[in-house]
A and B are shown apart, each in its own frame.
Chain A
Amino acid sequence: MFLVASGLSIIFGVTRIVNFAHGSFYMLGAYIGYTLVQAIGSTAIGFWAAVLIAAVAVGAIGVVMEILLLRRIYRAPELFQLIATFGVILVIQDVALWVWGSEDLVGPQAPGLKGATSILGKPIPEYDLALIAISPLVLVGLWALFKLTRWGTLVRAATQDRQMVAALGVNQRWLFTGVLFLGSALAGLGGAVQIPKGGADLLMDFNILAVAFVVVVVGGMGSIFGAFWAAVLFGILQTFGIQILPNSTLVLMFLVMAVVLIFRPWGLLGMPETLGQAHPGPPEQPLRPALPRVRALGGAVTALLLALPIGHLVFPELVGVFTLVLVIEIMVFVLFAAALHFIMGPGGMVSFGHAAYFGGGAYAAALLVKFADAPFELAFWSAPVGAALLAFLFGWFCVRLSGVYFAMLTLAFAQIAWAFVFQDMPGSVLKTFGIADEFGTPLKITGGDDGLNDIWPSGWASTRIAYYYIAVGLSVAALWIMRRFLYAPFGYTLRAGRDSPLRAAAIGIDLTRHRWLAFTLSGAFTGLAGALFLFSKGSVFPTTLEIARSFDALLMVLLGGVQSLFGPIVGAAALTWLNDLFSVLSYWRFLLGVTIIALVLLLPQGIVGFAGTRLGRRLQLARPEEITA
């Protein structure tokens, strides 16, 4: 855990890249290590050599990713690299499936360390002792590297003030490449050394990713010692936690992270983010009213959407039922992405946990239908209200933080909300008061993993075409309202807070309150998307709140372009459509990943950034001064 987290921490600290592919490197480390151990690992020397080679190989892959991909987009908007690494995740997933097959690989035990030693009368596996020894060794090694070598000094300097290092004439490129090698190799090492404890399987990447982020954040971004102590802390908590509260396994880490972030906003050993470390790209253009062409385009798309069901009735072969279904789904995600963008773009608050409000809204409506027998019309509107309340509550804690810490706290709350419905906590609580079914099993309230089923719109809205108009009408209306908010003084205030919190505060703006309000509004609109989703699918499951769903929305916003109000709309539509197009093919994840990477490289401002290119200008989609490419 420490190894992986320290790698992530180093990469983030220096390059400010949120590297989602880190989990994939961990998985690759395990797979490559597995293959090598099979080949040469029958002796103790061979085994450890295999582990080291795997780490170096993964480090090399990290370098390839840096040179081919990340290096080209350092000047892109903040967090844009995140999508690129997301594309890498998808590609690595399918490559691993293709090379190593689908069966879980159970790692062989380490030669020479197969047995268990008795310590204080308890058998402890020898390999565990070896692991206990390795982590501090790596820690000391890293410490020596950073403190005693020139390279390490430069890396530390870059962590603290990148511009100054650049001004001193240090070639940042090679520095970054080196850092990525080190960080990736640590992930690979982490993956390889855990082989005798587990093995390699295709779900490892996402499983470790959240854990690694939590450890890094609790320890403090960029602090290796922080990561180490956080890993130790979680190891101890995990061990005692499952003995005292066996049910706490899912939520423990995230609860701890939330508490740590609330009381120590920069992690245990982290430092406050240096102010004024703006991203290196050109300053963002202010929001301006859309050009006539763009408005016309928006109007045309809306008209087309409204006319589509008529097309379906007149030409059923051309516009099938499924087209309507797909458009409904696209509209749901457009609304979701736009609501996220509402705080992310103009507000500068990147939420990693927005699925909490999407699923939270859906659950609010579903619970009302299930237990109060509420009619569709009432239940539907309870979703945005419920989601807004949830956002109101969580937002109070979150908006005090900024940057990555804000993102991680939203993630922590989303995970807590997820665990809440996943473990059906209301049911468990009722059971402690003696309310349970005849066999003593807890009542199903949120239904846990099995979710809440069979929730459909009432009669008049249940036909495809009626529901289509509900979805399209509400989404377009909500988008319009959000747009109005952003062009109102409220929106400008938010942007002021994003671009210069100090100056905004100096002219008397209560930033926290504005951000809190924006967060709540965004939650409400997200909840609306959740309600549309719920009633189009007829059931809701904890998967609507999980991390992957939050990341989907994030990806849509970033892919579309975070700087434009149309960005999330285009991004969500494109991604949902591409997903549908590719998912009928085998190895579709590989294709999707490659497409995402290609888009990132070609349009570093997001898809909407296209408008800023020369071609876009000629088509009068953007003003001359908005040219970026």
Chain B
Amino acid sequence: MRSSKAFLTTTGAVAAIAAGVAFGSASAAAETIRIGDINSYTRLPAHTVPYRQGAILAIEEFNRSGGVLGRQLEFISHDDQGKPGEAVKVAERLFARDEVVLISGSLFSHVGLALTAYAKKSKRLYIAAEPLADALVWAQGNRYTFRLRPSTYMQAAMLAAEVAKVEKAKRWATIAPNYAYGKDAVAAFQRVLTELRPDVEFVGSQWPALFKIDAGAEVEALKRLEPDAIYNVTFGGDLAKFAREGKLRGLFEGRLMVGLLTGEPEYLDPLKDEAPEGWLVTGYPWYDIETPEHKVFVAAYQQRWDDYPRIGSVVGYNTMLAIKAMLERAGSTDTEKMVDAMEGLSFDAPTGPITFRAIDHQATMGAYVGWTALRDGKGVMVDWKYLDGVGYLPSDDEVRKLRGGQ
């Protein structure tokens, strides 16, 4: 029940902020800098609420230490219902009615892409926090859009680079949800691994419908392929069902298992003692990160929310850090000046230094790669390392080509 209580407090806080805006006078608007936040709070609360909590924590810290450019920050948060059209409408409302200086947030790729197109058209700044779609900064990239979290390609490339070292894994099978993210994640992994290891062979792919997996049948189909290794992109409830059926039916025995995002607390924790062991995953081992910056962040987060941070929390926190650093560098809330300040912006985050690349507006925030294990009846990551995102991006020439000369 603890998490639901924390959730209540958050929604309460946000409602209060939103109410303040609705009845606030015009003079107050001149004093505070307003940041518009759009995310899928009703569609995927398990992921988006930690994001909002991380962001609010950062905003409160800034305001206690005197704000930014001598002004207080205000965080105005709205729900996009997981619909791209709705998100565009909310963006227009935030800019027109709430007079925010920029928008940030979103989790779903299609919502992020809709906002990317909107940012380009309206020439307003959009800082995508969590959407993973590669197109966001490449094929659809534009001057007004930036992205913080390591993309599908980057995380898949990290895993591919790690497993390329495993000699015996030659026959690969993949299982991924049947939509753009799953397809991209498999394509990127296949591409990078084939480049590093021309001798590997991909023997088959399974594409369960998102959140409608028939795990028993999928596991049997994978077994029939007789792979040495399996690359998993399923997540959420699908992952739980896949992990359970796979264990029961002996799919994982003697095979190298690799999971994209599987190590994130959002996905690993609900599995409790059934969390898969010995998978190579990307994730967020917040419990074992010993750097001082990160320990401070975890302590502050736990004190504020009476809950532990998820990957969304740290992304939300980092996004606000980026916005603060950008505002200080721009010295203004003029959109063009803010965009100029975002390009090449460097700042220090709890997870390490991050730079927004000028070439494609992708941040170099990295990911934690490690092996899953059970500790005290809970899934954790062990033997992990932090891989900086900068090493897992295509060459500059290729990026320019992908961006189509924008």
Partners in one complex: yes
Q: What residues of B have a CB within 8 angstroms of the CB of A211 in the complex?
A: 212
A456 to B207: give the CA distance in the assembly, Å: 34
Q: What residues of A have a CB within 8 angstroms of the CB of B11 in the complex?
A: 586-587
Chain A 99-131, CB within 8 Å of chain B: the 1/0 string?
Answer: 111111110010000011000001111001000
Cross-interface CB contact of A588 among B46, B79, B140, cutoff 8 Å: B79
A128 to B245: give the CA distance in the assembly, Å: 10
A-facing residues in B211-258 (Cβ within 8 Å): 211-212, 214-218, 220-221, 224, 236-237, 240-241, 244-245, 248-250
Interface window among B106-114, B163-171, B276-284, B296-304:
B106-114
12 A–B contacts, CB within 8 A, in A order: A101-B3, A106-B272, A122-B249, A201-B236, A238-B214, A239-B214, A250-B209, A449-B110, A450-B180, A539-B117, A585-B18, A586-B41
Q: Are B81 and A537 in contact (CB under 8 A)?
A: no
Tell me, yes or no, whether A405 is within 8 Å of chain B by CB: no
A322 to B8: give the CA distance in the assembly, Å: 29
Tell me, yes or no, whether B66 is within 8 Å of chain A by CB: no
Chain B 199-214, CB within 8 Å of chain A: the 1/0 string?
Answer: 0000011111101101
Nearest Cβ in chain A — how far from B309, in angstroms? 14
A607 to B197: give the CA distance in the assembly, Å: 66
Residue positions of B touching A, CB distance < 8 A: 1, 3-4, 7-8, 11-12, 14-15, 18, 22, 41-42, 45-46, 49, 78-79, 81, 83-86, 88-90, 92-93, 96-97, 109-110, 113-114, 116-118, 120-121, 133, 135, 140, 178-181, 183, 187, 191, 204-209, 211-212, 214-218, 220-221, 224, 236-237, 240-241, 244-245, 248-250, 269-272, 274
Q: Are A322 and B97 in contact (CB under 8 A)?
A: yes
Q: What residues of A have a CB within 8 angstroms of the CB of B187 in the complex?
A: 439, 441
Tell me, yes or no, whether A242 is within 8 Å of chain B by CB: yes
Q: What residues of A have a CB within 8 angstroms of the CB of B1 in the complex?
A: 101
Q: Are B79 and A106 in contact (CB under 8 A)?
A: no
Q: What residues of A have a CB within 8 angstroms of the CB of B208 in the complex?
A: 242, 249
The residue in A198, A588, A589 that gathers the most chain B C-beta atoms within 10 A of its C-beta is A198
Q: Are A238 and B84 in contact (CB under 8 A)?
A: no
A538-B245 contact in complex given A239-B214, A246-B206, C-beta closer than 8 Å: no
A450-B133 contact in complex given A539-B84, A586-B12, A586-B15, C-beta closer than 8 Å: yes
Q: Are B117 and A246 in contact (CB under 8 A)?
A: no
A201 to B43: give the CA distance in the assembly, Å: 11
Q: What residues of A have a CB within 8 angstroms of the CB of B93 in the complex?
A: 322, 325, 580
A199 to B215: give the CA distance in the assembly, Å: 13
Chain A: interface size category? 35 or more
Q: What residues of B have a CB within 8 angstroms of the CB of A585 in the complex?
A: 15, 18
A326 to B93: give the CA distance in the assembly, Å: 9
Q: What residues of B have a CB within 8 angstroms of the CB of A371 in the complex?
A: none
Q: Are B270 and A105 in contact (CB under 8 A)?
A: yes
A242-B218 contact in complex given A449-B179, A538-B121, C-beta closer than 8 Å: yes
Q: Are B209 and A329 in contact (CB under 8 A)?
A: no
* A104 closest partner in B (C-beta): B270
Tell me, yes or no, whether A598 is within 8 Å of chain B by CB: no
* B45 closest partner in A (C-beta): A102
Q: What residues of A have a CB within 8 angstroms of the CB of B250 in the complex?
A: 116, 123
Tell me, yes or no, whether A543 is within 8 Å of chain B by CB: yes
Cross-interface CB contact of A243 among B211, B217, B269, cutoff 8 Å: B217
Q: Are A538 and B117 in contact (CB under 8 A)?
A: yes
B-facing residues in A88-103 (Cβ within 8 Å): 93, 97-103
Q: What residues of B have a CB within 8 angstroms of the CB of A583 in the complex?
A: 78-79, 81, 86, 90
Question: What 6 A-B pairs come out closest when comparing CB atoms?
Answer: A102-B45, A449-B180, A586-B11, A101-B4, A322-B96, A449-B179
Q: What residues of B have a CB within 8 angstroms of the CB of A422 in the complex?
A: 179
Q: What residues of B have a CB within 8 angstroms of the CB of A587 in the complex?
A: 11
Tell me, yes or no, whether A247 is within 8 Å of chain B by CB: yes
Q: Are A329 and B271 in contact (CB under 8 A)?
A: no
Known: A123-B249, A586-B12. 17 other contacts (CB 8 A): A99-B4, A101-B3, A101-B7, A106-B271, A106-B274, A122-B220, A128-B216, A197-B215, A239-B214, A242-B207, A448-B183, A449-B181, A537-B89, A541-B110, A541-B113, A584-B22, A585-B15
Residue positions of A touching B, CB distance < 8 A: 93, 97-106, 109, 115-116, 122-125, 128, 197-199, 201-203, 207, 211, 238-239, 242-243, 246-247, 249-250, 320-322, 325-326, 329, 422-423, 439, 441, 447-451, 453-456, 462, 533, 537-539, 541-544, 580, 583-589
Q: What residues of A have a CB within 8 angstroms of the CB of B218 in the complex?
A: 242
Q: Are A201 and B209 in contact (CB under 8 A)?
A: no
Nearest Cβ in chain A — how far from B81, in angstroms? 7
Q: Are B206 and A453 in contact (CB under 8 A)?
A: no
A101 to B220: give the CA distance in the assembly, Å: 33
A100-B4 contact in complex given A116-B249, A197-B241, A207-B211, C-beta closer than 8 Å: yes
A543-B249 contact in complex given A448-B179, A450-B180, A453-B117, C-beta closer than 8 Å: no
Q: Are A246 and B97 in contact (CB under 8 A)?
A: no
Cross-interface CB contact of A450 among B113, B217, B248, cutoff 8 Å: B113
Q: What residues of B have a CB within 8 angstroms of the CB of A322 in the complex?
A: 92-93, 96-97
Q: Are B45 and A537 in contact (CB under 8 A)?
A: no
A462 to B121: give the CA distance in the assembly, Å: 10
Cross-interface CB contact of A125 among B89, B181, B216, cutoff 8 Å: B216
Q: What residues of B have a CB within 8 angstroms of the CB of A98 in the complex?
A: 4, 8
Q: What residues of A have a CB within 8 angstroms of the CB of B211 in the complex?
A: 201, 203, 207
Q: Are A589 and B114 in contact (CB under 8 A)?
A: no
* B191 closest partner in A (C-beta): A439
Q: What residues of A have a CB within 8 angstroms of the CB of B274 in the complex?
A: 106
Nearest Cβ in chain B — how far from A578, in angstroms? 13
Nearest Cβ in chain A — how far from B372, in angstroms? 15
Q: Are A533 and B85 in contact (CB under 8 A)?
A: yes
Q: Are B270 and A243 in contact (CB under 8 A)?
A: no
A104 to B271: give the CA distance in the assembly, Å: 9
Q: Are B110 and A454 in contact (CB under 8 A)?
A: no
A515 to B114: give the CA distance in the assembly, Å: 37
Q: Are B214 and A451 in contact (CB under 8 A)?
A: no
Q: Are A103 and B46 in contact (CB under 8 A)?
A: yes
Q: Are B113 and A451 in contact (CB under 8 A)?
A: yes
Q: Are B140 and A453 in contact (CB under 8 A)?
A: yes
A431 to B217: give the CA distance in the assembly, Å: 27
A326 to B78: give the CA distance in the assembly, Å: 16
* B120 closest partner in A (C-beta): A454
Q: Are A539 and B113 in contact (CB under 8 A)?
A: yes
Q: Are B89 and A451 in contact (CB under 8 A)?
A: no
A109 to B269: give the CA distance in the assembly, Å: 16
* B26 closest partner in A (C-beta): A317
Q: Are B179 and A537 in contact (CB under 8 A)?
A: no
Nearest Cβ in chain B — how far from A100, in angstroms? 7
A123-B120 contact in complex given A202-B45, A541-B110, C-beta closer than 8 Å: no
Cross-interface CB contact of A246 among B78, B205, B216, B220, cutoff 8 Å: B205
Q: What residues of B have a CB within 8 angstroms of the CB of A243 in the complex?
A: 217, 220-221, 224
Q: What residues of B have a CB within 8 angstroms of the CB of A99 in the complex?
A: 4
A465 to B240: give the CA distance in the assembly, Å: 50
A264 to B281: give the CA distance in the assembly, Å: 49
Q: Are B180 and A97 in contact (CB under 8 A)?
A: no
Q: What residues of B have a CB within 8 angstroms of the CB of A116 in the complex?
A: 248-250
* A211 closest partner in B (C-beta): B212
Q: Are A102 and B3 in contact (CB under 8 A)?
A: yes
Cross-interface CB contact of B221 among A197, A242, A447, cutoff 8 Å: A242
Q: Are B269 and A250 in contact (CB under 8 A)?
A: no
Nearest Cβ in chain B — how far from A589, in angstroms? 6
Cross-interface CB contact of B46 among A93, A104, A123, cutoff 8 Å: A104
Q: Are B116 and A453 in contact (CB under 8 A)?
A: yes
A450-B4 contact in complex given A102-B49, A123-B248, C-beta closer than 8 Å: no
Q: Are B85 and A544 in contact (CB under 8 A)?
A: yes
Q: Are B205 and A239 in contact (CB under 8 A)?
A: no
Nearest Cβ in chain A — how far from B240, in angstroms? 4
Q: What residues of B have a CB within 8 angstroms of the CB of A93 in the complex?
A: 42
Q: Are A320 and B117 in contact (CB under 8 A)?
A: no
Nearest Cβ in chain B — how far from A439, in angstroms? 6
* B8 closest partner in A (C-beta): A98
Q: Are A102 and B4 in contact (CB under 8 A)?
A: yes
A198 to B216: give the CA distance in the assembly, Å: 11
